[in-house]
Structure 1
Amino acid sequence: MSPDPSPVRLHVVTGKGGTGKTTVAAALALALAADGRTVLLVETEGRQGIAQLFDTPPLPYEERRVAVTRGGGEVKALAIDVEEALLDYLDMFYNLRRAGRALRKMGAVDFATAIAPGLRDVLITGKVKEAVTRRHDGRPVYDAVVVDAPPTGRITRFLGVTGEMAQLARSGPIKTQSDGVMAVLRSPQTAVHVVTLLEDMPVQETADAIAELTKAGLPIGSVVVNMAAEPVLPADGLARAADGGLTGAELAPALAAAHLPGGDGLADALAAEVTEHARRWAGQDGLRAEVEALDRPTVELPLLTGPMDLGSLFELAARLEDHLQNGETA
């Protein structure tokens, strides 16, 4: 992620399942759309997660505005339908849209994507590339494209399958299209951002994904630490509680002075809760060192209470916008 002027126009967001990558992708789109920019947010997995976040009806296979940002910027969203993407492909390169519709009625499209799962990823990345490179009156239609991509366990395969297709096709439109997609994905205008939590498995998967993406020649952007809990005690209090040095007997006088009911039982329960919080925080702090060791720009997003609504998305977007303005480059 980087402020204008930035070579990065395609932001691919991935992360282990449960880390909130769809939420981060949506917030990033809002941040990038500030000050009058136009951003396309692309969903690739057919879950309609973007529609739920923006509280809109299920997205069709068309680019539809879902939010307006500061300065007249806007976020449009697209849920890629694989069948429609295939029809676009057949029409664009072979003028066979009508024939493609007939194939769909026969169930041939479903059959093809079932027996060749990689075809689905080829079509999706091809559509993403088309959105990134689309121009009108000599300038890009979108200032940025944000992709809510598959999780880390599948991201390298998802982004690299078109390169494998290019190796199989020696010439013709398939070869040309495949080479064009990989040229965009491996260029400085693309950045793959990885979302993680301060937990052992997500941090390990983040490290593994970065290693795999780097080996595949795909550009790594930022690491986004999502749902980071804020400490409720000062540093010395956290350290003492984590070491088991806080007892209910120490808290009881203050609780009594506040006229809180519960007596020693409440004091002991509160001391146990504080100790658990402090140890959890200490564990997270240790994992921060592992995230820093990945040597990528890092931004932390807070754990927000309550349901995730548009207001919450704008709050996260503000954090990401600060990250952009501070010059944290991909």
Structure 2
Amino acid sequence: MTGKGGTGKTTVAAALALALADGGQRTLLVEVEGRQGIAQLFETEPLPYEERKIAVSHGGGEVYALAIDAERALLDYLQMFYKLGSAGRALKRLGAIDFATTIAPGLRDVLLTGKACEAVRRRDKRQRPVYDAVVMDAPPTGRIARFLGVNEEVAGLAKVGPVHNQAQAVMRVLKSPETAVHLVTLLEEMPVQETLDGIAELRSAGLPTGSVVVNMVRPRLLDEEHLKAADGHTAEMARAFARAGLGGARRGGHAERLVAPLLEQGREHAERVGLERGLREELHAQGLPLRELPLLSEGVELAGLYGMAGELRAQWQTTTGGRQP
């Protein structure tokens, strides 16, 4: 799940994880930016570097969460491929790991995506996937293609050996039919433009796009037709206000004073509706499914998060014949 900053991608990622867990499934919600946004949403303690159950969905499904730390992921990597358990810890004490991930920023992305893909590939004793779905709260759309595609560059640089094999394995997961990159946006010009750019970059990189989730959709109160019907009837509206006792008419006030500001607000709302209609058309033109989540005026609490999950699941089932998001 990616999106421009401020569009609510972490919230939508959490709602998607809950939706996917509905009906007894098990999902893993992964965070890679170190902001502890998942812990805040679920009103729990900061997540450690371990998979921890944080919620139960409707139907008894379970949501686990993991905050991936690049340094710890590198230690896992050194132990897994080079059996450097104690030596890796010594490197950490010497600051070598911070040095490595600082001078090679791409290495950090390799470690983050690699840890998430390991969770995707993991099997239990019966060779069944440990998780039915893994949802990543990924970096913003401005760098999502680079973030997900860095393993391909690494695989090209390291022609043989564990690094090459690990990078290839990660790219097989990321480019497989099991993976989809969903984009979160608002019906505003800058987020929509960044979403369009992100879709183009993902497609150019051969990474699978899923759907566009339009978040914080405001209710439509008026459209141009209603406004046209009201325009030119200012006096009539003022008399109607007065009859209803509005505008202080019973105390000698003037209902006319209310009409002009209300009409102006109506015009602004109608313009907003027109702008949003155009932005929706731009998003529809990308050929991706479009989902919409309403604006929660009270803010996002746990109840609202579960409500968003139910809305997402209902929309996916309606448009995909009951298939999972």
User: TM-score, with normalisation over the residues of structure 1?
Assistant: 0.91
CA distance in 2, matches of 1:265, 1:23: 42
Distance 1:156 1:132 in 2: 20
1:42 is aligned to 30
Q: How far 1:246 moved relative to its partner? A: 6.6
Map residues 245-324 of structure 1 onto 2, 5 A cutoff. Answer: 245=231, 249-261=235-247, 263-324=255-316
Of 218, 223, 226, which residue of structure 2 is paired with 1:229? 218
In the alignment, the residues of structure 1 paired with residue 202 and residue 71 of structure 2 have an alpha-carbon distance, to the nearest angstrom, of: 28
Q: Is the 8 A contact 1:246 1:275 kept in 2?
A: no
Contact 2:224 2:270 in 1 (8 A): no
Aligned-pair identity (%): 61
- What's the TM-score once normalised by structure 2's chain length? 0.92
Assess if the C-alpha contact under 8 Å between 1:14 and 1:192 holds in 2.
Answer: yes
Which residue is 1:143 aligned to?
A: 132
What's the offset of the Cα at 1:304?
A: 1.3
Query: Counterpart in 1 of 2:180?
Result: 191
RMSD of aligned residue pairs (Cα, Å): 1.7
* Aligned partners of 2:223 and 2:270 also within 8 Å: no
Which residue of the partner structure matches residue 5 of structure 1? none
Aligned residue number for residue 203 of structure 1: 192
1:88-103 alignment, distance < 5 Å? 88-103=76-91
Q: Which amino acid aligns with 2:77?
A: Y
TM-aligned CA deviation for residue 116 of structure 1? 0.8
The alpha-carbon deviation at position 316 of structure 1 amounts to 1.1
Q: Displacement of 1:250 after TM fit?
A: 4.7
Residue of structure 2 equivalent to 1:160: 149
For residue 167 of structure 1, report the CA deviation from its aligned partner: 0.5
Corresponding position: 1:81 with 2:64: no
Q: Which has the higher contact order (CA 8 A, sep 6+)?
A: 1
Cα distance in 2 between the residues matched to 1:73 and 1:235: 45
Note the C-alpha offset of 1:187. Answer: 0.6
Change over 3 Å in CA distance of 1:250–1:175 after alignment to 2: farther
Q: How far 1:234 sits from its partner (Å)?
A: 6.0
Larger Rg, first or second structure (1 or 2): 2
Amino acid at match of 2:143: R
Structure-2 separation of matches of 1:195 and 1:172 = 37
Q: Which runs of 5+ in 2 are unaligned?
A: 249-254
Q: Deviations over 1:83-103 (max 9, x none)?
A: 111111111111112111111
For 2:233 and 2:165, the matched residues in 1 are separated by 69
- The correspondence for 2:204, drawn from 215, 218, 232, is 215
Question: What's the offset of the Cα at 1:152?
Answer: 0.6
Kindly provide the CA deviation profile for residues 67-97 of structure 1, in whole angstroms up to 9, marking residues without a partner as x: 1111110111111111111111111111112
Unaligned runs of 5+ in 1: 1-12
Mapped to 2, the partners of 1:253 and 1:100 lie a distance apart of: 81
Give the count of matched residue pairs.
315
Aligned in 2, Cα 1:116/1:249: closer, same or farther, shift over 3 Å? farther
Residue equivalent to 1:4: none
Provide the rounded CA distance (Å) in 2 between the counterparts of 1:250 and 1:307.
Answer: 39
Contact 1:42–1:148 under 8 Å retained in 2: yes
Indicate how the Cα distance of structure 1 residues 92 and 260 shifts in structure 2: closer, same or farther if over 3 A, else same.
same
